[in-house]
Amino acid sequence: QVTLRESGPALVKPTQTLTLTCTFSGFSLSTSGMCVSWIRQPPGKALEWLALIDWDDDKYYSTSLKTRLTISKDTSKNQVVLTMTNMDPVDTATYYCARMASGSGRSNNFDYWGQGTLVTVSS
Amino acid sequence: EIVLTQSPATLSLSPGERATLSCRASQSVSSYLAWYQQKPGQAPRLLIYDASNRATGIPARFSGSGSGTDFTLTISSLEPEDFAVYYCQQRSNWPQYTFGQGTKLEIK
């Protein structure tokens, strides 16, 4: 069974760098077609896609945030890490990691999600 | 960026009624549109992908239709557990995925 879990600090100060880890099980990021994304949701607001890493270690970022984001994976540990630099109070949100299974016969959408981790940016 | 506009913002219905939620794209997304359900304090759950395909384990009362710029999520007969926020999401402009602003389905 597929599970994902986000971990990281609940509180960061403005200008600091946020590092979040997604630990998953039930699939391998070395399997063709497997991808993990980060998606965030400010309190009471809509979802925003941030970044994606695929089985081939290709990385993709939101155009509006790409200068601040870095995504990486450790296949042996079943982990994906997201860093976001220069944090601001507007970055306060619940951050989710989600799996995507891409390719023919698959949903090509975010079919499994972690429970999310709330990150507050405040001095 | 492809903008998805959902309507209405809030829909008030009673259990047993039929719900129709809309999502309009700022440009064609072909059939590359998905729907998610989110309950308070929970992560979103994939309901429909590629406009009309139900995800694994999703009840048959949920159906999706549309193509191009106009899409609809229909819940044929509302169950108490269906009251939640629903989001549409496009993958046409891969990998710049975007979500709609959501429709809150509340109990009347």
Distance from CA of A62 to the nearest CA of B (A): 6
Q: What pLDDT was estimated at residue A19?
A: 98
Judge: B44–A110 Cβ closer than 8 Å, yes or no.
yes
Q: What pLDDT was estimated at residue A107?
A: 82
Amino acid at B76: S
Q: What pLDDT was estimated at residue B27?
A: 96
Q: With an 8 Å Cβ cutoff, is B100 touching chain A?
A: yes
Residue A103 pLDDT more than 90? Answer: no
Q: What pLDDT was estimated at residue A104?
A: 83
Distance from CA of A48 to the nearest CA of B (A): 7
Report the SS3 class of residue B47: strand
| Whole-angstrom distance, CA of residue A66 vs CA of residue A63 | 5
Along chain B (108 residues), what's the average pLDDT of each consecutive run of 10 residues?
Answer: 96 97 97 97 97 96 98 97 98 91 96
Q: With an 8 Å Cβ cutoff, is A114 touching chain B?
A: yes
Residue A79 pLDDT more than 90? Answer: yes
Residue A51 pLDDT more than 90? Answer: yes
Cβ A95 vs Cβ A36: under 8 Å: no
Nearest to A6 by CA among A87, A85, A118: A118
Q: With an 8 Å Cβ cutoff, is A38 touching chain B?
A: no
